Structure 1
Amino acid sequence: MSRRIIPVLISVVLAALGTGAVLLYLRSADDRAIEGKQARTVLVADKQIPAGTSGRALRDKGYVREVRMPAETLPEDALGQVGADLDALVVTAPVQRGQLLLRAMFGTAVRNGSGLVIPDGQMAITARVRSNVFGPATVQAGARVAIFYTYTPLDEGNRDVVSGAGLEKGRKVNSVTRLLLTDVEVISVGRAEARDGDAAGGPVPGAARSDDELSVTFGLNQKDAERLAHAVALGGELNIGLLGESSAVKPDTGVDNRSLFG
């Protein structure tokens, strides 16, 4: 019997030594990753953080944990602690487990009955956007989007100037679609209310119907809010594109009726 036990004990000891060696190797690999580099202690989500969670709750309820990372790989606003200055602020969108905690994720909770959470230092502004592709369930609070504007230019020589007549349509009328704003945070999404023309009299010819539109509230600084408000006032149509982690979006001259196919 004892002869059978001895090999079993030896196997257990070897397995334990092997596990210990693997753990030591992984730890040394982490150390080697930051060896020779300036490291910072930063916070990551230890579990999913719901939108609207306050800074105080993050600290008191164990939502975050500390990790060491090379400083050169970190964004400037990466948080090393949840200070008292964040106690009254909330995360404006859900934060996934393992995601790095950034100062830009926090905003002011607005108690006005709307349930909106406005990113810190920004304002909320709402606009109608076309919903040919997206619906309220697709575009959600916290999404980052690019906003495109389709308009009628003043004339062929002033393509950068909006005519002010909205989006005109006709065989000899040119229109332009260009990037208006990018990396914009969505605060809330809903169906657009019916327009006056959508009643018994029917929609205005050439105009978007309310069932083709979404009412989207964006978080913007003052300058960008002015640009969006002005575009809305001039008429035309707004479309949005959802941004991914590696989306490459930059301003250009856009496309018009003549360059649509290249």
Structure 2
Amino acid sequence: MRRRIVLLLIAFVLAGFSATAVVAYGHSADERALEGAEGTWVLLATAAIPADTTGADIRGRKLVRQVLMPARTVPSGAITKLDPSYDKLTLNAPLQPDQMLMSGHFQHPAPAGPSPSPTFVLPSGKIAVSVELTIARQVAGNVDNGAAVTIWLTEQTGLYRRDQKTTVVVAKATVISVGERPVPTSATPTPSPAKNGATVMPTVVSSAVTVAPQDLDRYVVTVAVTPSEGARLVNGYNSGELHLGLVSTPAPSTSATPDAES
């Protein structure tokens, strides 16, 4: 019995020595790896990081971890610490897990492009509203930029087409843009000459190539109106039919100015 107890004690002592040796070995692993060399801390990605991720996001979400490596194995440009100077920079390519973070992975974000400038001048206090109209409702296509127009609305008031009324939606508005598009064309069949009495099948030839550049369809008109006029105009466009009317402008005076008496 005593002999068994002594053997158990010896076994426990040996197990303790073994555990201590394993812990010491683990703690000294980095030192042995760096023996005779200088160590450098580097950053490795803990997960896949998509491109355009900012340095602030990487640091805030803890997407990298520090690892001690021999200095001789660390490539030039490796980041040792992700400080706030990287916050506004973005990754120029995605990073894979355990990939080393390099300064070359970061770039300044692309500057925002200039906002597109409008193709028309909008008077102060007015808004631009566009409506799609046929040529007939645009005074046969004679509405141009800068023209003054009156806008009418025709609404159905009963079951029959004759049951309708027409009212003025906007008494006077300035046209600031007229949208145009090429006139749609259809293919024209051209007969082929018959041979030996065979049945002639027409050859379809597109007439698009014969359309002159000036053949454009005016399909949308943009006017400058007040916000309240714009609300009535949009409501009328969605509920009835709109028509434009050109407003005449006073002709310039042609009376001669008498010369001053000398």
TM-score, reference length from structure 2: 0.35
Structure possessing the higher radius of gyration over alpha carbons: 2
TM-score, reference length from structure 1: 0.35
